Structure 1
Amino acid sequence: MDQAEDASPVEVGRRIRVLRTKLGLKQQDLASTDISASYISLIESGKRAPSDAVVASLAGKLGCSPDHLRTGRDDHAVEDTRLKLAFAEMALRNGDNGESLQAFGELLAKPVLLDPAMRLRARIGQATALEKLDRIEAAIPVLEELTRNPSLAAGSDAWCRISVALSRCYRNMGDITLSIEIGEQALATLDSLGLDVTVDHIQVGATLIASYLMRGDITRAHLLAQKLIPVAEEHGGRAGRGAVYWNAGLVAVSRRQRSEALALTERALAMMADDDNLRHVAILKMNVAWLELESPQPDTQRALGLLEDTAQTLAELGTAVEQAKCEICLTDAHTQLGQWDDALMHARRALGLLGSGPRVEAVSARLRLAEILLLREEPEEGLRNLHAAARQLRHFTPSYETAQEWRHLGDVWKRQGRTKEALEAYEQALQASGMPTTYDPAQAAALSRQHQD
C-alpha cells in the first residue's frame, strides 16, 4: 500500500501533528469537551486510533478533510480551494460581483476544505459581494455573524473592514442611529487599543462622517472631517486621503460652501485617479459633476462629459443605486441644456434601476420626471408623479435627506401655483429636519375651553 494511503494510527497521528505544527497550533487548541489534550498527544504518537467522529472534529480544526487525515491523499483539493478563493477575491475586485458571490458560496458549501483564515476571507467576500449587488438585507446577517467570530481580533484589518461595512449597510438601509453607533464604537475601540492613528481610523471615520451627514448632524461631521484631514495627510495613502477629502467635500456641501466643496472633491479625485478601484473613481467623477451642476455658473458640458464617462464605468462595476444616481445627475445636466427628451429618458431609466424598493433616490428621480413632464406641458402625468412622490416620502423615517426632498417637492408645487400642496410639503420638510411646529395660541385657547367644558 502506498504511504499516502496508509491509515495506520502512526501515520494518522503524524499527519495531525504536521498540520497542527504548520498552523502554529498547540495540542490544547485541538482539544474540546469530548477530546482532551492528553488524548490528542496519544493520537499524535500513534498510541490511539481515533474514531471517525474524532477524525472529523480534528479535520475541521486543521482545515482539511477527514479523508486527508485518514489517507493523506487530499492536498490537491486544499490547494485547489486556495486557488478558488483567490479567484473569487479577484472577481470581486474586478466588479464581477455575481460571479464572485457564486464562487464564495461554492467554497463555503465545503467548509471542511477551509482553514479558519480562509473561511473568514470567504465570508467577508460573500458579504461584500452581497452589498455590491444591493442585497443589503442579506449582507447584514453575514456581517453580524462575523462580528461574533472569536478569532476576529479588534483592530485587525478584517475587523475594520467588517465594522465599516456593517455601519455602511445599516446607513444604506435607513437605520442611521445604528450605523452611527457601530461607527462610534469602532473608533472608540481603536482608541482604546492605544495604537497610533492608523488607516483604520481613517476608514471608520470617513464612513461615520457620511452617517452624520445623513442624520443632519453637520457640526459633528465637520469636526470629524477637520480631525481626519491632517491624520490622513500624515498616515494615509492616496486612496485614504482621497476618501477623507471626498467626505469633507460632502460636509462643505451641507454647509452651503459650494466652492470649497468642489475644490475638496476635485482634490479627492486627483488623489484617487490612479487607484485601481475604478468604481470609487467613477463615483468621485459623478460627485464633481453634480457639484458643477449645482454651482452658480455651471460648466454643464464639462459635467455632462464626466457623467457620461461615469455611466459607462458604473454600468459594469456599480450598484443599481449608484447607476441611478448617475442617471439623476444626467437628467439635471440635460435639463440645464434644455434637452427635455434626453432628460426624460434618464429620469425614467433611474426609476427603472431603483425598482419598487423604498429608496429616497426614487423620490428624487420621480420629482425630476414630474418637472420635465410639466415643462413639456404634460400636466396630467406630471401631477400624478408629484402625488406619487409625496406618498413615497411619507413612508420614510424623517431625516435631513428626506427633508431635502420635501423641500424640493414644495418648490415644484409652488411653481405650479398649488399653494396648499406647497405649504404641506414645506411643513413636512421642517418636521423631517427636526424643527418642531410653532406654538399656536388660538389652538391652545380652544383646547383649554374644551377641557373646561
Structure 2
Amino acid sequence: MDEPAEIGRRVQCLRTERGLTQRQLAEPSYTSAYISTLESGKVRPSETALRFLAERLGTSYEELATGRPAHLATELRLALTDAQQMLASGAADEAAVRYRRLLTDAEHLDLAPEQAEALLGLGDCALETGELGNAGRHFETAERLLSGEPLPRRARAIRGRAISHLLAGELRYACYLLESTIDELGASGLADPEALVLLYAAVIGPYIDMGAHARAAHAAELALALAPQVNDPALVAGMHRQVARTFLAEGRTADADASLAKAQAIYQQLRLNTDLAHCHWMRGYVQAQNGELDAAERQLRTARDMLAAKRAALYTAQVEVELADVLRRLGRHDEATGLLSALLELGDRHGAVHAGGAHRLLGMIAEEQGDTESAEEHYVLSLGLLERSGATGDLADLCRLLGDLLRRTGRTEAALDAYRTGLGHRAAPGTTTLGPAPATPSFAGVSKRLGS
C-alpha cells in the first residue's frame, strides 16, 4: 500500500473525475469529514475502507491502494503460469528466458509475490540444467522476498534450497533444512498439508542416501497419510515417486512399481515431461533390482532421451550412471565405460554423489576385467567423493568392495582398515547425524491414517 498522501490524492482525483461530492462518496458507511481527512493524507485508510471506496469509485482495491491497474498483476500471474507449463513440457533454457523477463516486469511493478514466483521458476530451471549455485541463489532470494509471509508460503523456496544442496552432495545440510522446517511448521500451528507433503517427499532421498531407511519410511508414511488433503495433482505425483524409493529400500519392489505407475499416470495427464522422465528412471531402477535388465535398459534410455531433449544436464547424468550399471551387468563393459568416462570429463559439476558412483562402477568394471590396479584407483577416488557428500549407505558398500579387493590381492591389514572405515559409516537404523527426527504433525487425518 502506498503512503497516505498518495492514496488521498488518488481518491480525490477519481472522485472528481466521477463528479461525486465527499458526502456522496462517503455514504452510507463513512462521513464526509473522514473523506476530507483521507484525501488530505492525514489518515491511513484500512483495507475495509479502501475496498468500500474502490467499489464506489468503480475501480479495484489494488489500483486504489498502489496505483497499479489490477489487470497488470493478473496478466503477470497468467504469464507466470504459462512459464511454469513451459518448464514442465518444454526446455528449461526457454522457460528461464521467460521467467527472467517476468521477474523484470514484477520488479518494475513492485509486486513481491510475483517476483518470488519468478525466482522460484528460475531456481527450478537452474536445477534442471545443473546450475546448482544459481539455483540456490534464486531460491534464497525468493525466500527473502517471502520473509513476511507464513511459513507454508516459504516451503517451496526452502525445499528448493535443500534440493540444491542435496544435488551438490551436501546431504546433511539438505536434511537439516527440511527437518527444521517440518518441525517449525508443527510448532507454529501452521502444519499445512501441501507444504508438509512437499517437504516429506523431498527428505526421503537424502535419508536413503545417508542410510536412514527407517526415517525415510516414516516420512513416506506421513506423506501418504497427508496426500488426500492435497489438491495439487503434480505434488501428489511427486510424493508417489519419492515414496517408491522407500519401498525399494525395504525390498517391496511391487509396491514401488505401483507407486511409480500412479505417478506416471498423473504426469501423463498433466504433460509434465521432466517428471514423467523421472518415473521411467525409477521404474528402470526397480526392474534392475528385480534382475529384469533388458526392460530396465529400455526404461532408462527413455528417461535419458526425454531429459536430454529438455537439456536437463544434471538429471541426464544421474540417469546415465544407473544405465551404465545395467550395461555393466549385461556384460557390455565398453558401452558402460564410455558413458561413465564422458560424465567424468565434465568434472564435479554434477555433484560428488554421482561422480563417486561413476568411479565406483568404473572400479567394478576394471575388477571384472582383471585390472585390479585401475579398480583400486577408482575405488579410492570414489571414496574421497562420497566421504565429502555424506552418502553413508554408498560409502559402506564401497568400503566393502575396496576391502574385498585388497584382501584378494594379499593386503590383509589394508583390507581390515577399509572394512573398519565402512563399519564407521554405517548409520544406526532410523538415524542421521542430525539428532532427533522431526515431530509427527498433529493432524487428525494423519493420526487416523497412521492408526488404521
TM-score, normalised to structure 1, is: 0.69
Query: What do you get for the CA RMSD once the two structures are aligned?
Result: 4.1
1:132 is matched with 128
2:304 is matched with 311
Q: Which consecutive unaligned segments of at least 5 residues does structure 1 have?
A: 1-8, 19-35, 45-58, 65-73, 436-453
Q: Helix, strand or coil for the counterpart of 2:269? A: coil
1: CA distance, partners of 2:276 / 2:142: 29
2:275 is matched with 280
1:198 is matched with 193
Cα drift, residue 358 of structure 1: 4.9
Note closer, same or farther for the CA distance 1:194–1:389 as it changes in structure 2 (3 Å cut): closer
Cα drift, residue 367 of structure 1: 1.9
Q: Helix, strand or coil for the counterpart of 1:216? A: coil
Would you say how many aligned residue pairs link Structure 1 and Structure 2?
A: 384
2: CA distance, partners of 1:418 / 1:321: 38
1:173 is matched with 168
1:385 is matched with 378
2: CA distance, partners of 1:117 / 1:201: 21
1: CA distance, partners of 2:113 / 2:229: 31
Cα drift, residue 103 of structure 1: 3.8
1:370 is matched with 363
Higher alpha-carbon deviation: 188-197 or 221-230: 188-197
Point out 4+ residue stretches in structure 1 off by more than 6 angstroms. Answer: 15-18, 36-39, 74-84
1:433 pairs with one of 420, 426, 439: 426
1:145 pairs with one of 122, 141, 163: 141
2: CA distance, partners of 1:418 / 1:267: 50
1:351 pairs with one of 322, 326, 344: 344
Note closer, same or farther for the CA distance 1:320–1:62 as it changes in structure 2 (3 Å cut): same
Note closer, same or farther for the CA distance 1:356–1:88 as it changes in structure 2 (3 Å cut): closer
Give the aligned residue type for 2:122: Q
Cα drift, residue 313 of structure 1: 0.5
CA contact 2:383–2:395 (8 Å) conserved in 1: no
TM-score, normalised to structure 2, is: 0.69
CA contact 1:320–1:354 (8 Å) conserved in 2: no
Q: Which consecutive unaligned segments of at least 5 residues does structure 2 have?
A: 15-36, 46-62, 429-452
Note closer, same or farther for the CA distance 1:380–1:167 as it changes in structure 2 (3 Å cut): closer
Q: Which has the higher contact order (CA 8 A, sep 6+)?
A: 2
Note closer, same or farther for the CA distance 1:238–1:425 as it changes in structure 2 (3 Å cut): farther
2: CA distance, partners of 1:87 / 1:15: 35
CA contact 1:324–1:353 (8 Å) conserved in 2: no
1:451 is matched with none
2:112 is aligned with 1:116 = yes
2:155 is matched with 160
Cα drift, residue 315 of structure 1: 0.6
1:334 pairs with one of 293, 311, 327: 327
2:87 is aligned with 1:92 = yes
Cα drift, residue 429 of structure 1: 1.6
2:284 is aligned with 1:293 = no
CA contact 1:320–1:353 (8 Å) conserved in 2: no
2:295 is aligned with 1:302 = yes
2: CA distance, partners of 1:79 / 1:117: 12
Give the aligned residue type for 1:316: A
2: CA distance, partners of 1:252 / 1:84: 39
Q: Helix, strand or coil for the counterpart of 2:145? A: coil
